[in-house]
Amino acid sequence: MTGSNSIKRLELKELLNGLLFASPWIIGFCVFGLYPIGTAFYYSFCNVNLMGPSEWIGLSNYKEMFFVDEKFWISLYNTIYYIIIALPLQTILALGIALLLNTSIKYRSTFRTIFFLPSIVPQVASAIMWIWILNPRYGLVNTILRFFGFEGLPWLSSPEWAKPALILMGLWGIGYPIVIYLAGLQDVPIQLYEAAELDGASSFDKFRFVTLPFLSPVILFNVIMGLIGAFQYFTQAYLMTGGGPMNSTLFYALYLYQNAFEMLKMGYASGMAVILLFITLISTLLVFRSSARLVYYQE
């Protein structure tokens, strides 16, 4: 049976080639993925000392986190608050703009560029810009509010308005979802709209029964990416408020960072990292699960 032998040899050769070409990622994942995740679990049970060996302290970090440290819960609350308000707003606004762009308008690519540009501004630059834009006395936002006859708001300097200020700023940077939604909309088969029109469907019917089902996997993708990103909301809060005033913008990732690199409580911060991993996994799964009936896949 030389034939099957040579097939086996070919298969083996392909397997070796495949693994060889994939080896950068396999090695990289072990060193920069698997190892640190495992170590994060281990560190979370330790008092990590950068100068000497780490000391095993059992569940102390978790006990402190859950039962002692108020700021842990504040940071979790702030993050969930941000997600619950910002993510739906961003999704609706991005979808709305994409729908407006997906019409027979002229200058579509000019409009698209205007909506997209804010998203490529470097985060540090946009943080600095927005500190000034949100300035209660001299900033753009309050100037507009006053123009329309409203009172200016204290924004970043008040515990009530700091989170809304960051949410407002987040609405400025929705270029990526807009572009993705727009492309998704252009994939909807035009015959379906025509058929719906023949059946006497209104614009809303067409949106509800044709556009939305076709777009649902794309929306799910964006929501999940947005969710994962929002749990790691860091740079803006770090630069613009440092977590203040009165911990109102102390987000989870920011507090994790502060524990690790400012208070040098690396064991405790590792505990927070482990919790973050679980929160991310569970919430992604929940979104997948709860959307299973709502999302329509072609084929």
Q: Which of residues 89-108 bind another protein (CB under 8 A)?
A: 97, 100-105
**Could you tell me if 74 and 250 are in contact, meaning their C-beta atoms sit under 8 angstroms apart?**
yes
Quick one: which of 197, 208, 246, 288 contacts another protein (CB under 8 A)? 197
Indicate the angle between helix axes 162-172 and 123-133, nearest 10 degrees: 130
Token digits for 199? 């059946």
Residues 29-88 that bind another protein (CB under 8 A): 29, 31-33, 35-37, 39-40, 43, 48, 50
CB of 208 to another protein, least distance (A): 15
Token digits for 68? 């002692």
CB of 31 to another protein, least distance (A): 7
Token digits for 194? 């025509």
Alpha-carbon separation of residue 171 from 90, 94, 140, 178, 203 (angstroms)? 6, 9, 16, 11, 26
Q: Which residues contact 47 (CB under 8 A, 6 or more apart)?
A: 54, 55, 57, 60, 267
Indicate the helix (H) or strand (E) that contains 47. Answer: strand 46-47
Quick one: which of 8, 28, 73, 150 contacts another protein (CB under 8 A)? 28
How many residues in the shown chain lie near another protein by CB under 8 A?
96
As a whole number of angstroms, the distance between CA 156 and CA 178 comes to 27
Facing residues of 47 across strands? 55
The interface region with another protein, picked from 66-74, 76-84, 171-179, 290-298 by CB under 8 A, is 171-179
Q: Which is nearer to another protein, 81 or 234 (CB)?
A: 234
Residues 256-295 that bind another protein (CB under 8 A): 256-257, 260-261, 266, 269-270, 273-274, 276-277, 280-281, 284
CB of 258 to another protein, least distance (A): 12
Residues 222-261 that bind another protein (CB under 8 A): 222, 228, 231-232, 234-235, 239, 253, 256-257, 260-261
